[in-house]
Structure 1
Amino acid sequence: MNTSKFNLGRRGTKTQIPSLVNRPQSRFDPGLHNFVVTHSPRVSLPANTKRPQTSSSISQQQQFIQSRSESDHHKNHANSTSPVNLYGAINNNVNSDQIIKQNDANANNNGSNHHGHHRVSNFEKGKPHSTPGVTKFAIQSSSSFKHNLNGINHNYDQSLDIFLGKASALPLHAALEQFFRQHFEAKMAIVWQEIPHLQLLYSSSFNITLSHSSGLVGYSFVSRGILKAFNPSDHPAYDQTVDEKFCSPNSPVVIFPLFDYRNNISYVIEIIRSTHSKEFTDVDESFIEWFARKFRVLSQWLKIEKSIDPLLSDIMQLMRRDKFLPVVRAKIAGFFDCRSSDIFKYDKKANKIIQYGETIETIDTSNAGIVGDSLLREQMVNVVRTKLNNNYCPDVDKFDEPMLSLPVSDSDGQTVYSIVLRGPNRSAVFTKDDEDLLKKAAPFILLGFTNSDTFSVIDDEYQNSRNEREGLAALLEVVEVISSQLNTKKLTELIMEKGRSLTNADRCSLLVVNETRDRLITSFHKGLENCIDIPINKGIAGKTVMEGKALNIADVYETEFFDSSTDMETGYRTKSILSVPIYNHLSEIIGVTEMVNKLNDKPFTQFDMKLIQIYNVFCGISLENAKLYQESLELSHNLRSFFDTAFTMSKSKLSLQRVLAEILMNAKNSIHAEHATILLIDEAAGVFSSFFSSLDHYPQTFPITTGIAGQCVKTRKGIISNDVYSNQFFYRGIDNFTNYKTHSLVATPILSSDGAILGVTEITNKTSGSFTKKDMKTLQAFSTFASIAIENARLKNIVEFGDSEIEMKKYIGKSELSSTSIPTNLQLTDAQKLTVTSLNCFAVDFQGILHFKELFYFFNLFKLLETFEIPNESFFKFCFTISGTYNDVPYHNWTHACDVTQYVTYEIITAGLTNIFTANEIFGLMTAAICHDANHRGFNNIYNVKAQTPFGILFKDLSVMEMHHITVAIPIITRDDINLFHSLDSNETKNMWSLFISLILATDMAHHFELVKKGQGILDEGSFSFDIPENRLLGLQLVLKVADISNVSRPFDIANKWCDILCKEFFRQGDLEKESGIGLTSPLNDRENNDKPKSQIGFYNFICLPLYHVLAGIFPPLQVNVDSVKSNLEVWKSMVPPASPS
């Protein structure tokens, strides 16, 4: 089992505890009640010292511990040697006399006579002191002390035997705690395991943690020495919040570290006696030092590591990744006794991270949380609480809990995996044991993971290869049929027979939609004497046509829509049916194939369905375009690409991007080229848009006249160039941009069914040889597929959104759709802007798209699109849709709506109404101006009521046409893809609709005199206060009413033209009134007896001037319009011939 491809610890942990080799260590002097510091340097094992090999088996470790215990008990101490150890240059088996001599020598060398102790008088002030030359703890040199040591030393080996016995039966921390508690007759012994990555010490027994510098335990850890205290609370490092939980005052305590064979601290031991018990002596300390030396030598064999064999037995089984992941995640979580586990993969080249958890998700490297940080730095991360980490991301790191992430680099260095453990079930943190065990298991886990990946790929390739081989064989036979048979009926019969054979069906039928698209007729059948002719919505075939999807039915008699009449007529028993629709190039269903009764008495499979869908594509092609089959014959060596393309296009739910990408890649592979690109034309921006390219970093857009693609559009012909750098039309900028060298190129236009150029397909750099005319024909065939796909997508858009989608693409680029700034192609010229903001504007001159440009300019002028967050796409659709409701009548048409909106804009600017009314009010006024005559039929309210038109009956006692205009406008304004008022809150929306409706209702001439009288009455009473809501509404209503009859205030030549247009509509209504016999509703409608000057004089005097006077009284700057009306009135008066003398 090769796990060398994975590298653990590729980078070392950056945060390490500083070496404290020269830091003094403390001992407690029971005589002086002071703390004594002894120097315990860190010393490594000699280079020539051989360490026993680590055993991977628990039983082997237990045997070793037992044998070691027995050998130590019978060992000749005088002849044994040991490497230099933690507490000084003393061999493992020295006797008490040697200890005394060594320490007497140290004492004499240091000139100390304080009963063998080294005092530090200023230690309590936090200033440790060490005496030069002191390399070992100080021991009393009295003869009695020597005698005691001699007596005790003989029991050390027996104590070691006791400890080893416990270590073989218990976890190491439990063995240590039990051993020291019994040996020292202590109340409690606590083992604190060091967790370097967390900078913490952890007690398994109490499931708690301490920082490296917390309290007495932390002091012993940092000083790397023995801390002995009779009264712990007197020690300067005593921390009540930490130490009081275990060390009550007057409870003797001794704390010391245990080092492993690498001279790293593995554990800190805290031994506590009951209150007022005897203190720990120097003899105890000597035993501790002796035990520490033994522990360091034996440390690599003492801990019985958990075997990973049970885990390996599951994860090394070969299976697909979708089956492997749930199994291995559960096994890892169970093995490490944690809540859950995940696997992450970081691909450096692609710069992406994939999480293999309950689901497989791709994660942004910039927001990948703690796991991402571990992967990017390739360092193990162990955290106590995820939310306290600076890199925490809730989507990746999940709950606030301990987490351990171990990164493992692949041998190529381009992929980094991480195994993540979350939420230990029985401990507060993940310990160093967990870290070590995970490091040991990780290469095997990831080997199993990569094996499952490889197996999945191989299995997929095998299945796909088998399907492709079968499909390709079938297609090759279709090619033979096409080459030898031009009769469509016989051709289809042979194709369907092969399909029946491949699906192992008993019978098959082809039902074709008739020309009137109301019936289905069998053009090929087996087992029937006569053709079947059924309604298009009958039976399973009918359901297939109506729903436009394939049906795979295991038992047709369990379905309510199966037509059993054929079975009854023929005596044949139908059980299973595979019914698949056939589409033409317009995505219209032209027929249905039915495979009947699979011969093995099983239902048809998913592969059967896919295969018949592919065949039906070719059936549709043969029925709709025989020429395409002939071209397919000439390109027989490329049929595998056509197979893939047809299969892709049969998936109606695929996006246009996916379909074109599949078509393009099939073309590239078929022609044997390096790269391929589809460029679509953006008519609005006048550029090519790189819809899809196999080249990285291809420009998003470039001018439509650029390069060979531009020449292709210009000539409408395909182009072959096998030396592009000698071609005058080749654009080298793309090569510079992509850092790719183009040598040869073939390009062909993508033509729609009506001959319009939709874009260009380009194939670059043939892998061998040069591009030929045959390659051009192949590319043209694929371009035909692309054209069909594009047109189908556009047809779907038209069905969903209407013609506005097509029109909008002409004037608004993709990047401008979501903007609120005026699109480039909808900008007015400076001269046009001056015209549309003045009185001298004749709306008839602004036809077609110019009206749209006007409206975009008006709404942008008052910042309505920006303020109310209306993107260009929504506003264009609103203008397009509302304009479509206006009828082609002489006067009350779309031009009149834009004319009224232009005059409202002129009034707002002239009177400074933006300083008086709110943005909401201006927005409502402008919107009402656009919609105020929506779907006007050219007849006034009197006619509708009198002629009893549907509108007249429906709104008889109301403002007939105005109510109709409102009911037409509301659904358009609220349509999901328009929704002009979407940015308003509920209260604002209610007020906006109230304003909108009130403004349009005010345009009813039936309310004219009432509104004028109301306004004049307020003016007669004094000033017109805009603080009164009713006055504000009245002011807005009058502004719109004046705009509705604004023609009378424009320069006379414009006013006269509008008069003629209005008369046409009056005469049109008058003619109908005469024909229907209801009589003329107004003298102005009489074509034969029309006196234009007189009618205008009356209109000006009785209707217009009173209204204009009131509005000028409210908004004085609009007095200029009153003057203009009066000026025009004088011209009309001058046209009236003088009265003849009576």
Structure 2
Amino acid sequence: MGKTQSKLFSSKNVKFDTQGNEVAINASTTGTAPRRNSSAREGSVTTPQGSRRFGSFAGKFVLQYVDGQSRPRPPVEDFDGQNENQLRSGAARMRQELDSIYKAVAIMNQLALELDINKAVDNVRDVVLELLHCERVTLFMVDSQQKELRARVSNPNEVFEMIRIPFGVGIAGRVAETGTSMNIMDAYHCDLFNPSIDKKTGFTTRNILCCPISDMSGNHVAVIQALNKKDGYFTTGDEANLELFGVHLGNTLSKSRFHTTALAEKQRMGKLYEAFRHINTAGTTLDQLVSIILRAVHQLVYAERSMLLFVDQARDHLWTKWFRGTALDNKDISMVVKLNESNLLTRVAQTNEGICQHNVLTGEVASVIGSVMGIQSAKSVLIQPILDVRNGKCLAMVCAMDKSEQIENAFFSDPNFNSGDQNAIAVFAMEVATILSERSLEISFASALSTVTATGGSAAAGDLDQVLEAQLMSYVGNEDIESIASSISRSLSNKRSPSHSTRCSMEQSPGDAPQLVAQSLSASLSQQKPSPKKEAQRLALNREQLRRWDLDICAYTTEDLLKLVYDIFADSGVVEHFHLDERKLMSFIAAVCSHYHANPYHNFCHVVYVLHGCYMIMMTTEANKCLTRVDQLVLLISALCHDIDHDGHTNSFHINTNSPLAQRYNDLSVMENHHCAITFAILAKRDCSLLDHLDKPLRQEIRRLIIAGILATDMTFHFSLTTDFKNHSNFSIEKEDERLLLVKSILHAADISNPVRTFIVNCNMSHRVHNEFRLQVSEERKLGITPMLHMDAKDERVQCQLESNFIDFVVTPLWEHMALRFPGLQVCLDQIRANRDAYKQLAERTPTAIAAAMKRALANPKTADAASIQAWALQCEQEELQAVAATIKLPNSATSAGSAAAEPAATTAPAPEQVLPASGPGSVPSTGGVGERERGAGEAELASVSRASTQKSLNGGSSRASSLDATSSSVVSSGGIRLAQGDEA
């Protein structure tokens, strides 16, 4: 300022008379090219505006806009310097301008002390009004990050509102973009001027002076726009004066902006503290906690809409039922988002990194959000993950959409979410993570009980009907398909019950229609309530199929399994006896199905096997005479729910990792206690309340028995339960303790009844068990936990040995006593022993041969049985031996023997698919060899040669060593086929 001020007041540039009036101004100080007056002294000029030339910068060049074109301002008219009146008038104007400057300086002194940004802006406007003698002044604050100007203006109703102008738009936008002043002498002839504003406000703009305002660092902080000079046009002197005060105005605005920003952050920290205090309040429910979290999100970032979504890793989706937003208040809205979808929510869940984006379609956030929230786009979206403090996985996420209009009226607020908002939410998420991690069990309950529709919101009934009609063709014929589809679409739109859950976690065969349609169809069919006569006829037709131990449940679709479960309940007689509501029963079955996850073994397929086993024991033996109707209902419900919400881990894993479930249940039957809790939570749901119509004492008794039955499936009770069952020679229906022991024993026997099934089913379920074991072993090794030996089978040969031992030491003792008490189960005991023998024989083959045979069997379950699997393993082993013989150079005698042994295999071995017909329930494969009696002399010779060769290979000894030279040894040791993999097993 000092340097500029010295130029303005230098006596070298201005001359005064004895009365202090201006006489002349040196021509070198003017910014125009005025004409010379011959009466004036050489080298000076005079202007009719006198003091208006005071304060002009040397070399300043001002443009005027006429007819949309810029051109130099025309020179001012000369005046007679000897005219005393003009001199006095010029001096008076100079004094007036000096007075204005003094007033402006006084206001500046007050302005320097002002920290409130709104008052500071008003003071700046007052300074400019006084300095430039104009009718109006607008101050635009510069937002360099958003590249826009912001101004607070009053509308015709005298209500202030915030306007935003992008850089480069209009006169002010052009000044902000270029950083140069613009002096418009005729606004309506300037292409950048927008006359519609005058029409809207009723104000007439004649001329405009628009200048950038910078702080002491040279950063543009504002743009001043002055309208309508009261006594003519804006001059270069006005520009100079504005530039003189501009730095001080810029510094004042920067200081106020810094203060406002600091105050806003202080307030935000206070809100963070309050949020931390509230979310740590003891005793709040999950609903209350989520409400506090969403309220805090609104206060921290002024989110117009927000939601908290939880990540359900087991079900592979995000879910929520909590929203905050004016349009969503007091609405019961539920939503689920599959983690295999491509959207912003899924990206955050997978990367654990927050996202802040502007101008986003709701479909990019998640496909269901548009229909749920009633909007199609958002100005900005902020998504922040909440990571579990125990393992670093994404536990939940906060999604905020659009800043509220209320905050947008502030000068320095961002209309969109910015890095400051993202940092605030990130800090908040760290505290929330601690709280949610401590309540993970409660969250898992809420997740398990969440009832959501497939679309996550409403859908047009007509469109949904068309989709369902197309899908239903795979389940029913053309008859009544339209009415069924309409019924399902109505139930989906109304979100009636858990029967419309979006998933049923189990392995399905390819080509199945969507699970949602299957489950909804089940509910729809149950709602049609067929006549008792037709229902009895349908059950009579299905009863023969139901009461077979060789039922291949693995081949069933989800829809078939749901119908099968319903038929078991109906055929047992408990539905009729207890007058169970059929709709509630179907809803209950579908809800239970939806809470079994996609584990390799502990899924809905396994539980239907167990339920079917209980049904078979109860309905095909004398056991039903020892059980009351209450016991039968308890047995069926317990069987259906005994592994519900299983996460694929054993109790020991939960105990060793000190999981929330282990903490909740004090390391006692951890998963079994959890299964009980989820069972009764579902039964408490309105649409699944099967037992609500029963008397309270009866409901309490059923609850007690179900808990006892499910807890008895804990394998730690196996030997004590087997002993107790063995010590009871008879079971009396009159004794409650004996009936309860029988219920426990039947349920546990069915839970370990895989060896009761055909060998191919047994192999299939065994394969799934070991796959689930491998997943846990992998996790345990990452956590530094030593896996249990029986869970860490290194190859298929060891698996066969483990299965054989499991049958001998676990399954057979219990089922032997079951067959003694109920002779109708002798066929099951025979199958158990046959499967045990088959595993023992299969364990004699090489691991690679067993693996190849199993793979082929599982791919062709309808043609596979114990004998064919043995034959396939034998064939694979022979192919291995021939490959070794071709690779390793053997002595002539060994080569001849190998050729002699290989030739019958090529000429007499039958196709594996033609070995034997599939064995039925109770059939016992030959235990004296692999099909010697059935296949004839040629195959017997093949089998004997194979065994002899394999035995030599596996035993390793001098005979094999003498037959292999140094070359063959090097080939074997350098990566050839290892035939002795199972020796140490």
- TM range, smaller chain: 0.3 to 0.5
Q: Select the structure that is richer in helix.
A: 2
Q: Which has the larger radius of gyration?
A: 1
TM-score by length of 2: 0.37
TM-score by length of 1: 0.32
